[in-house]
Amino acid sequence: MRVDLFDFELPDESIALRPASPRDSARMLVVRPDGERLLADRIVRELPDLLAPGDVLVLNDTRVIPARLAGIRVRGEAVSHVEVTLHKREGADLWRAFARPGKRLKVGDRIRFGEEGENMACLLAALDAEVEEKSDGGEVLLRFAFSGPALDEAIARLGHVPLPPYIASKRPDDAADLRDYQTIYARHDGAVAAPTAGLHFTDELFCALDTRGIARRFVTLHVGAGTFLPVKAEDTRDHRMHAEWGTIDDATAAALNAARAEGRRIVAVGTTALRLLESAVRPDGTFEAWRGDTSIFITPGYRFRAVDVLMTNFHLPRSTLFMLVCAFAGMETMKAAYAHAIAAGYRFYSYGDASLLFRAPEPPA
């Protein structure tokens, strides 16, 4: 499909630079299939009333790491400032990363991360890495001087919250982002971007969902920085997705199979949970324990087998995530929903408002 079909104009003031407070006070646009009261303006804390007892929420419990690192490239006597955003771990001491400006790096270069002038007697005062590979678009493979927990500790000390470019270009990260850009149920370190639909949940909202009889299960997909990359191809067939690692355990697979067998709905909280579920589901719509990389790219025409309802934020024009929601709820429906959201002053992107999408009926085979 032509990528320009997924373009739309978004006013700069629609981009949220801070989240709603409290989290569940964010607005939520409910989008149903044609003929079922197509659009409704609600708020996130009303979610329990919009779902049915027995529905199963599936949430991504990945934890965002401070994956943005500033450093100095050392090449003989020449030095140059660079910034990298880690996006996928490949080994105990290996990370794939996006470098800026990538043109300043070549294979064999050494990068030193850390503040100049710190006490270098401290083991973690600086962190060195060597460029092992370089790809198009500024992507590099870095081998660090530390590995395992020592590397994790160094990244935690020296790194910054990897705010999306549309926020980071307008303000620096601060102490509030350490809290705000993390779900309250984050457990497993590894994401370099938040599963942002989950940012809306509070303990009070979870209690209300429990009272309503809505179950919840957790999966893990370590979200990569590739989620922010624009689609530069003119046709979706020419776009390459970056792989992300995920896992679904036995207990969760069994719970989802029981729900499916009993006719209960599976509600994905965020596109990351949806993409993992659709990667793991069998052709007959059942699940088994699963772990590995996924680079699934969902565009209109895809047949969903795993998810019935999707809670998600509002996405960028021409992005793979806007393509995904168009596939899920229908392209014309989503274009109408986004036009309504912009006109009604909804807040877009990672710190913005939410939408609750009910899957469009499958076309006749």
Taking CA 10 as the corner, what is the angle to CA 270 and CA 164, rounded to the nearest 5 degrees?
Answer: 50
R_g (Cα) of the chain, nearest Å: 21
Residue range 299-315: average pLDDT?
A: 97
pTM, rounded to two decimals? 0.91
Residue range 190-208: average pLDDT?
A: 97
3 state SS of 358: strand
3 state SS of 140: strand
| Reported confidence tier of residue 77, pLDDT bands at 50, 70, 90 | confident
Q: Does the pLDDT value for residue 45 go beyond 50?
A: yes
In whole angstroms, what is the distance from residue 240 CA to residue 233 CA? 9
Q: Does the pLDDT value for residue 163 go beyond 90?
A: yes
| Reported confidence tier of residue 119, pLDDT bands at 50, 70, 90 | very low
Q: Does the pLDDT value for residue 125 go beyond 70?
A: no
Average model confidence (pLDDT) across the chain: 92
Residue range 20-45: average pLDDT?
A: 91
Q: Which of 7-16, 133-142, 182-191 has the lowest mean pLDDT?
A: 133-142
> What is the helix (H) or strand (E) element at residue 256, kind and residue range?
helix 250-261
